[in-house]
Each structure stands twice: as C-alpha cells, then as structure tokens.
Structure 1
Amino acid sequence: MTDHHEDGSVRPRALAWAGRQLNAGERIIETEALHGGITAEMRRLTVAAPNRGTRHLVLRTFADPFFAEHAEGLLYREATTLALLAGTGVRAPGPVAVDAAAAHCEYPSLLMTHLPGRTVLDDEGLEARLPLLARELVAIHALRFAERPHEYEAWTTADAVVPPDGADAVAWAAAVDVIRKPAPRYEGRFLHRDFHPGNVLFDVSPESPADLRITGVVDWVQTSWGPADLDVAHCSSNLALLHGSPWGLRFAEEYEKAGGVLAATPEERLYWRLLDALAFAAAAQWVARPWREAGRAELTTRAVEQRLDAYVIGLMDALG
C-alpha cells in the first residue's frame, strides 16, 4: 500500500535527509503539499536562516509503487537536466540533492530550489498566456547540449487505444489508423516531453495584467530527444482538455508565430498530434483529478473524455 501524506507532512527519514542538505544554522520550519502533480508527491519546505530570513525548497517524492520502481532513472535524469539548464535562458529549479535509490529517504526523492510564481489553469486570460507558452517552448527546443537525452518514448500504440464511451467511432478508427503507420522522419530537438500549463509558472499581478510573464518551467523527468511536434502535441492536448478543442487546435499556430518549426506536411503533423492525444484515452481520470484539486471542479473524468473526443474529431477535420 502506498503511504500517502496528503496533509503536507514529510516522512521522518526524508525530512532528516533534507535537513542535512541545508546551510549551516538553517532548519526546516514548515512543510506544505503542492497539488497538481500526477506521478509524484510534491512538498514545499520553508527553511529558516539564523538571520531570521526564510527561503523555500521543493521535495519531489515517488511514493506510488509503479513510479517508485522507475524513479532512479527518472530522478537522475531530472537532476542532470536541471543542472544543465542553469545559466540558459530557460528558467527551471536548481538541483540541491537527489536520493534516487531511496538510500536515505523512505522513497526515491529529489530536493530542488523553489521558483516564484504559480500555475494558472483558468479559462480567463488564456488569450494572453498562449503566446507566452509558445515562446517558452520554442526556447526549450533551441537548447543544445554536448550530450543528447535519450530518444522519446511513445505513450500509446494503435492496439492499446480504447475510445471513451460515446466517442465518434468513425473518427477514432481513422485516428488509430494514422498512428498505426510508421513514425515520420524528423529533425530531433531537446524536448521537455511534458510541457503543458500545469508545469509552467506565471507571475500574475491583478494590478498589472499586461506584465504577465513566465517565471519558470518545472517537472523535467521526461526530458528526451525527438520532434518538436511531439512537445507541441502534448501542450495542445492539454489545452484542448483544459479549455476546449479550439485552443488545442490553435497552439501549433502560436508556436510557429513564435519562430518554431514543425513537420512539413499535414499528414506528419497529424501523426504526432494524434500520437499524443490518443494516449489520453487511458489517462482521462488521472489528469482530471489534479485539475479539480486546482479549482477546475467542472473537469470530471466524463467532461475530459468528451473534450478529448471533440479534439480528436477536430484534428481529423483540420489535418486528416
């Protein structure tokens, strides 16, 4: 059984380990659960300094048995990526310490710096946020490091797709046939691989909405090498499920306006968009839960499935 700590407390061994990573005289005085994640528990740690100042750190813990089994590779990948991102134009947390094999903590864990800002999942203001998301993704894809990350992994296959109840059977059958074909050739890019509004932090000032800006991008455990289309596809799918199909269909245009380059033909673009979208058929309940926790109470599993169906139909109409 997974030992979930939903109240924000940190398990004793993990708390002691995190405490050993602090500067001399510092101590952890408060812990708080950060909601919105699917695969890991996230905790914000408030650290007090001898001069009475405070700072924050973030503790990622893979407590779920499935993800804990794969945590060693995931956490080392994220810690390595965060170190590489330091000094680039892409704002990300900095790695503090990693216990990927749970040698010191109850479960595999990563301690990192805390970024200002917050995720924004509301419909209001999306028109202004969309270009910022696109520009940030273009910046990520422009990164070049001496060593490439591992090749991307597809998150579904044609044989694994089960359409939601009530979905358009004709559209889904045609969509599945698209991803049954071999993947198109592509020019590789550095991918976040899980880029979407839930992993982007904004500085949102009610007094000055025109000064909206991105303060950071988090959750780099899936970093990989592959086509820019795949990152665009994942953000598009999330936008469609969060805000409606038209927003998902529009994101690729914003990406190109920001200087991003996508596959040359509609058929190639459709393949990558559907490869991502169809993976959500098995994940609707998992993505809907953190969205509801973040305040989107209307996004039930059924509502997300209906939006997914509309998005798949929209893709087939627009690019099929």
Structure 2
Amino acid sequence: MTDYDEAGAVRPSTLAWVSRHLEAGERIVGIEVLRGGITAEMRRLTIGTREGGTRDLVLRSFVDPFHGERAEDWLHREAGALTRLAGTGVPAPRLVAVDPTAAQCAYPSLLMTHVAGRTVLDDEGLPTRLPLLARQLVAIHALRPAERPREYVTLTTADTVVVPKGADAAVWGAAVDVIRKPAPPCAGRFLHRDFQPGNVLFDAPPPESADLRITGVVDWAAASWGPADLDVAHCSTNLALLHGPAWGLRFAEAYEEAGGVLAATAGERLYWQVRDGLACSEEVRQVARPWREAGRRELTTRVVEERLDAYVTALMDAPG
C-alpha cells in the first residue's frame, strides 16, 4: 500500500484525476505540501515511473471558498499563460492538465510540471539577485504571443485604500489623489502580474555567488496584457516590504539598466508605482503571513505596514 505524506489533504477524486494524466505505468508515490501560497493549496506529487525512477508534478487546488469564486478565471488564465510560454525560453512550468470548474476534481485544480529551485527571501545576497530579477522581467515583457492574454485589471480605488496606523494623512491623501486620475496611455506587454521574489526560483549556490541563476518563474494565474510599469511597480512594492523602501525604489532603475522600457514621464511612472503600493495596503496581513512562514519571522503585519508607509512616502517625496 502506498504511503502518502499529507495524502489525506488530497481527495480521492483529485488523485484519480491526476492518475488519468500520468504516463502508462506511472503512479503517485508521494505527496508533499508546498508552503508559501496565499490563494491556493500547493502539493508536490512524486510520480514513480515505469523505469523505476521518479519525477515531480505540482498540483494547485483552490480549496478556500473565498478564492474559489475566482478559481475558474485564474485557472483558465494560468493554463493559457503556460501554453503561451512553452518553448519561449522563460523558465516556467509546463501545463499537464486543468480542471477549472472541478468537474472531475474535488476542487478547481491545475496540474503542471515541477520546476527545480527555491525562493530566496533573505536580505543577504539581494544586490546579486536584483539584476537577475530585472533581466528576467525584461525577458517576459519581450514576449509577443500570437494570442494575447486578456487586458490587465486593477481593483484598488481611492475608497478601498487602507491607510496604515500612524501614517501621515496628508501624504497618503496625496497618494490617493494620484490614482483618482485616469490611467496613463501605455504600450501593451505580456505581464506576469505577480512577479515578485516569492514567485521566482533560484538554484542552490550561496546567495552572493556569481553562478546564481533563476531556474523558474511560477504562479501565472493573473497573466495579463498591459503596461510594463505594472509588473515593475508590483515587484518594487514587494522588494520594499521584504527588504526596505530603498530596494523598492532601486528596482525600476535595475529594470531599465537591463534594457526594459518604462512610461515616458515621471508622473506616469509614479501613477503605477503608487497604485501598486496602495493596492498592497488592502492585504498587508495576507502578504506578511507567507513570508513569516518562509522564515522571515521579523516581518510582522505591523513591520510590513511601517515599511509600506515609508515606501509610499518615499515615492511621493521623489524628485519629479
């Protein structure tokens, strides 16, 4: 009898669905929970091959009812993105199967290949990783798929922003006024829409090694078509919260140094930077939790709120 780690968390109907998409003679021999996700549960499935070896797949399932309401849309997007990325050189998983409406699985699910590597969220080695992140994002934005993903969506409004406790009301009021304006015109690019350190995998050398490289970019559920500034702003906000506001400000420069092109004027760039920072104000608690689970225990909700306040203030104080 096969002994699965954490097997009880995966329903028999889902396991049967996975098994139908394996090669002849293969079977599931192990299941491991992957930590760090916010919207979906992730499992690494070890597959025993006919030749006696193993290979790994990843199962993403939307179990939580709140996120399950959007699961069909997200899974269609991710399946489409992984299909478009196949053969492009961007190190992304390959799609194996998808059941966006839970027609066969217990929950809406997607099955994909496993990409080797690990997320690196520590401060150590960040100067080495930053240009790698920038170059990878430039490569993603350079893609011109025959079929574009759907247009980007931004949900944050002036009325949904959550001002951190103790923040300067005047500064945040000015920031909110920035996003009251219409979005600047922009050239469209292929966007990841959640490109940040938690979704980028690196190989195993020491963090400051010159041989460090990116092995994978994961979580394409929000892939869209829109301004490059959106992806840059999102990664900048995450860097600011993980490592301090100065690193968030630095990422846009690194992106341009890597050959990326941002909006033409400082005001247009500020719009996207502020929009993403304010969007994060609504979900600080959700953002901070997986970082603590990954070992950054000092990143309490309050610490992340303070960094967000400092970052938004720095954006509003920047020349131009």
Q: Which residue of 2 aligns with 1:219?
A: 219
Q: Which residue of 1 aligns with 2:99?
A: 99
Query: What are the Cα deviations for residues 28-56 of structure 1, in whole angstroms up to 9, with x where unaligned?
Result: 11111111111110000001112220000
**How far apart are residue 167 of structure 1 and its match?**
1.1
Query: What are the Cα deviations for residues 241-281 of structure 1, in whole angstroms up to 9, with x where unaligned?
Result: 00000000000000000000001111111000011110111
Q: Which residue of 2 aligns with 1:81?
A: 81
**Native 8 Å contact 2:7 2:31 kept in 1:** no
Letter aligned with residue 200 of structure 2: V
**How far apart are residue 204 of structure 1 and its match?**
2.4
- Length-normalised TM-score, structure 2: 0.96
SS state of the match for residue 160, structure 1?
coil
**Native 8 Å contact 1:161 1:278 kept in 2:** yes
**Native 8 Å contact 2:95 2:113 kept in 1:** yes
Letter aligned with residue 311 of structure 2: Y
- Which has the higher mean CA deviation after the structures are superposed, 185-194 or 69-78? 69-78
Letter aligned with residue 132 of structure 2: L
Distance 1:7 1:233 in 2: 39
**Native 8 Å contact 2:128 2:207 kept in 1:** no
Q: What is the total number of aligned residue pairs between the two structures? A: 316
Q: Which residue of 2 aligns with 1:263?
A: 263
**1:16-27 equivalence runs, <5 A:** 16-27=16-27
Q: Which residue of 2 aligns with 1:276?
A: 276
Distance 1:6 1:73 in 2: 28
Distance 2:319 2:219 in 1: 30
RMSD: 1.6
Q: Which residue of 2 aligns with 1:302?
A: 302
Distance 1:203 1:37 in 2: 20
Distance 1:148 1:237 in 2: 26
**1:148-227 equivalence runs, <5 A:** 148-206=148-206, 209-227=209-227
Gaps of 5+ in 2: none
- Which has the higher mean CA deviation after the structures are superposed, 127-136 or 205-214? 205-214
**Native 8 Å contact 1:155 1:276 kept in 2:** no
**How far apart are residue 205 of structure 1 and its match?**
1.3
**How far apart are residue 231 of structure 1 and its match?**
0.4
**Native 8 Å contact 1:91 1:216 kept in 2:** yes
Distance 1:253 1:7 in 2: 45
**Native 8 Å contact 2:292 2:298 kept in 1:** yes
Q: Which residue of 1 aligns with 2:239?
A: 239
Compared CA separation, residues 129 and 50, structure 1 to 2 (3 A):
same
**Native 8 Å contact 1:240 1:249 kept in 2:** yes
- Which has the higher mean CA deviation after the structures are superposed, 307-316 or 200-209? 200-209
Gaps of 5+ in 1: none
1:53 aligned to 2:53?
yes
Letter aligned with residue 63 of structure 2: A
Distance 1:170 1:90 in 2: 42
Distance 1:8 1:52 in 2: 25
**How far apart are residue 208 of structure 1 and its match?**
8.5
- Length-normalised TM-score, structure 1: 0.96
Distance 1:73 1:129 in 2: 32
**How far apart are residue 158 of structure 1 and its match?**
1.1
Query: What are the Cα deviations for residues 73-102 of structure 1, in whole angstroms up to 9, with x where unaligned?
Result: 211111111011111021100000111110
Runs of 4+ with deviation above 6 angstroms:
5-8
Letter aligned with residue 198 of structure 1: G
Distance 1:53 1:146 in 2: 37
**Native 8 Å contact 1:270 1:319 kept in 2:** no
1:14 aligned to 2:14?
yes
Distance 1:193 1:235 in 2: 9
**Native 8 Å contact 2:80 2:149 kept in 1:** no
Letter aligned with residue 226 of structure 2: G
**How far apart are residue 307 of structure 1 and its match?**
0.4
Q: Which residue of 1 aligns with 2:292?
A: 292
Query: What are the Cα deviations for residues 198-251 of structure 1, in whole angstroms up to 9, with x where unaligned?
Result: 000101213992210000100001011111001000000000000000000000
SS state of the match for residue 210, structure 2?
helix
